[in-house]
A and B are shown apart, each in its own frame.
Chain A
Amino acid sequence: MHDIDYDEIHDEFTVPQFMAQAILTFRGGANGEEPPIRVIQGPLTQLRQPARVTVDPLHNEIFVPQESDNEILVFPREANGNVAPIRILKGPPDSRGLGPSALAVDPVHNLLIVATNGPRGERTESFADNRIRIYNRTDHGNAKPRGIIGGPKSGFYELGGPMAVHPPKGVFFLPVGGPGPDTDFVGVWSVHDNGDVPPRWTIGPAPGLFRSVHGVAVDPKSKSVFVTDKDLNAVMTFSFPEIF
């Protein structure tokens, strides 16, 4: 299972089920072998490889990036069963430009923050081309991003881990896999950044800190940043009052 999003307003969490091409939503306190309260699945959904998911609880929408299909599917939050997406943000036909591997929604600034990789077949050669693309939340079709973050100063290498956003401060948190040992980090950018912008804050890179940083979540109340490290099989909590 490659993603999870907790919806504080409705007390639910949502996960993508890659193998069965489904999006599953559970009640917040689900435990044990409890069935989901809603399942998005079926031919109308257009789901092919749902590996990530983001819920916008304010506007009641679910966003599902499909990296190889170069698109982001948007469903009503309460969709259940064989339901078509209400809109699709899709990159150009040559598959360059979107390739969304992860995303986050800022419902306050009405923005969609998308981590984008090159085409799969070239992915290992194209880390330098990886970018964060920022769209209007309601963009659809082959829309032009409002902003593109990336380049040597940004320090991107491998993107794709689940991101987090903190709308009150207009910042997002991005796990960045580095090219070698002790080069992974979590970067913090403003949702208003554009161009080859270095992160405003980073956690790491530092010797012995991360091996393979993957996901990030935040708790503004305790001013904490949670980071998963795949190769350490660990979840770390960092105190970061400066950001919150």
Chain B
Amino acid sequence: MVTREAQRDAKRNRGFLLVLSALGVLAGSLLISSEPKGRQWAEEPKAIGTDRLVSIASLPETGGQMCQWEPASATVSLRAALRQERLAASSVPSAAKRAEAAKRKPVRMIRDPYSSYSAVAVDPIRNEVVLADENLLNVLVYDRLENTPPKASMSEPKRIIGGDKSEISFPCGLYVDPKSGDIYTVTGDAYGLLVFSNQAKGNVPPVRKLEAPHGTFGIAVDDGRGELFMTVQHDNVVIVFHKTAQGKDSPIRFLQGNRTKLANPHGLALDLKNERMFVANHGSSHLHHSGPGPASGGWYGLALGKKSWPLDQESAIRGSGKMASSSITVYPRDASGDTPPLQVIQGPKTQMNWPAGLAVSEERGEIYIANDMGDSILVFSTSANGDVAPIRVLKGPKTLIKNPTGVNLDEKNGELWVSNFGNHTATVYRTTASGDTAPLRVIRSAPLDRPTLGISNPHPVAYDSKREELLVPN
């Protein structure tokens, strides 16, 4: 149903466009005489351009009565408006006015002041749990048995790592070295991998950082072989480094190619007992030209000086993109090059909808999937293949699971951890939990009634004038 207010707004909008059109016509007639003869390319400021007739024919149907927004004296008011524009274009405000404007504070700000957990890693040896905060851009360490009382506002972490020296930017993947307790943090929008010591606290630099392709997300480590795996969303890659790699070290190998079926890969998990690698794919992909990357070194020149490096967007084949349904693809642990998957779990029965974090229980032969848009944890057999239903689904209002993006198994204590990006919580369950089961414990970063905005890495913003709404992609 169209409200009267909406109709009125629509009329105003049509009127506005008519005004724009008319401005163009008038601008063309009034300003044409000021067109400079023989444009110069000098650096000195100079007015440029002429205004041109805007296509009146392309205006939409006005539908019904013409809007009365523009008065009969439109010509006069439009001339005034145009004069105002010309004044604006030719004059510069005073230094005092500009200085005042520069210091202006926002009248409103949309911002969530609380942590939103994007990834989780349990350290059963030190009895700690590490949570990545993709809202305030921190890494938080809590006691493993922390449980926020229902009446408490939130739980205080034992340690917070964050700030400009830390270089943490949109942390989305975590790994805790069982031996040293070092915290490996994947940054989705910065250097690639940052490693902090177990006792790091505050605004401190990482003890080690490793350059990776832009758009890393998931992480898994084979401690026995000393290998570190990361997914790269943008270029459909699994890249493998020595666990101790740093700086501009080259990868040992990478999995990338048109036969891999990698499609915006996110979570990553290893089954070392069965020598398998599991990857969660959102579903969008494009093909790459084979052969070496561009001489420029690709995106930001990252490939320069490296022994090998994955192809990036500059090697993407134009118009080869496609959107497919989400999937889990399974490879040999040491797969490289353009290796096709051994198994593909994909299809409507799987219930997958943007699978993010992954965990594997070698003991139980199960894959655990943080099913972001499905508000669920899906559990499959590690041998699952094709369009199959999960063997367990953890979902429902009692679970508190909301936009889960991280999952981690604590096999020592038989617990399953979930980071819920959608409600300021990390929740803990028995490994075998299913259905609408309440968590054993909850770590909450905000009062219960505080909404989660879901904003993460906001690049653009658009204003929907019809609904008076801001559109914020992430």
With A19-B284, A171-B88, A242-B93 known to touch, is A108 a contact of B23 (CB < 8 Å)?
yes
- Whether the pair B103, A200 counts as a contact (CB closer than 8 A) is no
**C-alpha gap A165/B368 in the complex (Å):** 47
Q: Interface 1/0s, chain A 144-179, versus B by CB < 8 A?
A: 001110010000000001100001111100000000
Once the chains are docked, how many angstroms separate the CA of A60 from the CA of B55?
10
A37, CB-defined interface residue at 8 Å: no
Please state if B110 and A148 are interface contacts (CB–CB under 8 Å).
no
Nearest B residue to A167 via CB reads B20
Q: Considering only CB atoms, which chain A residue lies closest to B164 in the complex?
A: A181
Complex alpha-carbon distance, A239 and B46, angstroms: 29
Q: Tell me whether A43 is interfacial, beta carbon within 8 Å.
A: yes
Question: CA separation between A110 and B24, bound complex, in Å?
Answer: 9
Of the candidates B112, B323, B474, the one whose C-beta lies within 8 Å of that of A20 is: B323
Task: Please determine whether A21 and B321 come into contact, CB atoms closer than 8 angstroms.
Answer: yes
Interface centre among A20, A44, A221 (most CB of B within 10 A): A20
Chain B residues within an 8 Å CB radius of A170: 85, 88-89
A233 CB contacts on chain B under 8 angstroms: 111-112, 135-137, 453, 455-458
A29, B467: Cβ atoms under 8 Å? yes
User: Which chain B residues in 409-466 approach chain A with CB under 8 Å?
Assistant: 453, 455-466
Q: Is the CB of A146 within 8 A of B107?
A: no
Contact across chains for B464 and A28 when beta carbons are under 8 A apart: yes
In the assembled complex, which residues on chain A have CB atoms less than 8 Å from the CB atom of B5? Answer: none
Contacts of A232 in B (CB 8 A): 111
Shortest distance from the beta carbon of B195 to any chain A beta carbon, whole Å: 21
Question: Among B20, B47, B233, which residue has its beta carbon within 8 angstroms of that of A108?
Answer: B20
Q: Does B471 lie at the interface of the complex (its beta carbon under 8 Å from any beta carbon of A)?
A: yes
**Chain A positions within 8 Å of B291 at CB level:** none
- B41 CB contacts on chain A under 8 angstroms: 148
Q: Are B466 and A58 in contact (CB under 8 A)?
A: no
Complex CA distance for A54 and B467, rounded to whole angstroms: 20
**CB of A215 within 8 A of chain B?**
yes
Using known A-B contacts A121-B301, A169-B88, A190-B89, determine if residue A49 contacts B313 with beta carbons closer than 8 Å: yes
- Please state if A215 and B458 are interface contacts (CB–CB under 8 Å): yes
Complex Cα–Cα for A156 and B316 (A)? 30
Q: Judging by beta carbons under 8 Å apart, are A201 and B93 in contact?
A: yes
Task: Report whether A110 and B52 are in contact in the complex, using a CB–CB cutoff of 8 Å.
Answer: yes
**CA–CA, A232 and B23, complex, Å:** 39
Asked whether B461 lies within 8 Å of A58 as measured between CB atoms, the reply is no
Residue of B nearest to A163 (CB): B460
Instruction: Tell me the minimal C-beta distance from B44 to chain A in angstroms.
Output: 5
> Complex Cα distance A209/B103, Å?
8
CB distance from A169 to the nearest CB of B (A): 5
Instruction: Fill in one digit per residue for B151-194: 1 if any A CB lies within 8 Å of its CB, else 0.
Output: 00000000000001000010000000000000000000100000
Chain A stretch 193-216: residues in CB contact (< 8 A) with chain B: 193-198, 200-206, 209, 214-216
> Which of A21, A107, A185, A240 neighbours the largest number of chain B CB atoms within 10 Å of its CB?
A21
A226 near B463 (CB under 8 angstroms)? yes
Q: Counting CB contacts under 8 A, is B43 at the interface?
A: yes
CA distance A143 to B474 in the complex (A): 34
Q: Chain B residues near A201: list those with CB within 8 A.
A: 93, 98, 101-102
Do B464 and A42 touch (CB < 8 A)? no
B392 on interface, CB distance cutoff 8 Å? no
Majority-rule SS of B interface residues: loop
How close is A101's CB to chain B, nearest CB, in angstroms? 11
Q: Is the CB of A120 within 8 A of B300?
A: yes
Provide the residues of chain A in CB contact with B458, threshold 8 Å. 214-215, 228-230, 233-235
B76: CB under 8 A from chain A? no
**Interface residues on chain B, size class:** 35 or more
Query: Is A47 in contact with chain B by the CB < 8 A criterion?
Result: yes
Assess the A219–B465 pair: CB atoms within 8 A: yes
- Please report the C-alpha to C-alpha distance between residue A59 and residue B17 in the assembled complex, in whole angstroms: 12
**Which A residues touch B456, using CB under 8 A?**
233
Chain A window 72-98, contacts with chain B (Cβ cutoff 8 Å), 1 for yes, 0 for no: 000000000010000000000000000
A5 neighbours in B (Cβ, 8 Å): 462
**B318 near A47: Cβ-Cβ < 8 Å:** yes
- Measured in the bound complex, the distance between the Cα atoms of B342 and A154 in whole Å is 56
Q: Which of B24, B49, B299 contacts A146 (CB 8 A)?
A: B49
A34 at the interface (CB under 8 A from B): no
By the criterion CB–CB under 8 Å, are B85 and A169 in contact? Answer: yes
B405 contacts A by Cβ under 8 Å: no
Q: Does B460 contact A194, Cβ atoms closer than 8 Å?
A: no
Is the C-beta of B307 less than 8 angstroms from some C-beta in chain A?
A: no
User: Could you say which residues of chain A place their CB within 8 Å of the CB of B110?
Assistant: 234-236
In the complex the two chains form, is B474's CB within 8 Å of A19's CB? no
Contact indicator A200/B93 (Cβ below 8 Å): yes
| CB of B216 within 8 Å of the partner chain | no
Distance A49 CA – B24 CA, assembled complex (angstroms)? 33
Query: What per-residue 1/0 map shows which CB atoms of B258-273 lie under 8 Å from chain A?
Result: 0000011000000000
Q: Does B391 contact A (CB under 8 A)?
A: no
- Selected from A48, A60, A121, A161, the residue in CB contact (under 8 A) with B318 is A48
Near B by CB (< 8 A), chain A positions 103-121 give 107-111, 119-121
In the complex, B96 has a CB within 8 A of chain A: no
Task: Give bound CA distance, A147 to B35, whole Å.
Answer: 13
Contact: B459 with A20, CB < 8 Å? no
What separation, in Å, do the CA atoms of A226 and B470 have in the docked complex? 9
In this complex, the member of B48, B54, B471 whose beta carbon has the largest number of chain A beta carbons within 10 angstroms is B48
Partner of A200, one of B48, B92, B453, B457: B92
Q: Top 7 closest A-B pairs, CB basis?
A: A21-B321, A121-B296, A19-B284, A1-B473, A43-B319, A236-B106, A234-B111
Give 10 pairs: A residue, B residue, CB < 8 Å, sorted on A: A1-B460, A4-B460, A8-B466, A15-B473, A19-B263, A19-B286, A20-B322, A119-B296, A224-B107, A233-B135
A residues touching B (Cβ–Cβ < 8 Å)? Answer: 1-6, 8-11, 13, 15, 17-22, 28-29, 33, 41-49, 52, 58-60, 68, 82, 107-111, 119-124, 134, 146-148, 151, 161-162, 167-171, 181, 185, 190-198, 200-206, 209, 214-219, 221, 224, 226-240, 242
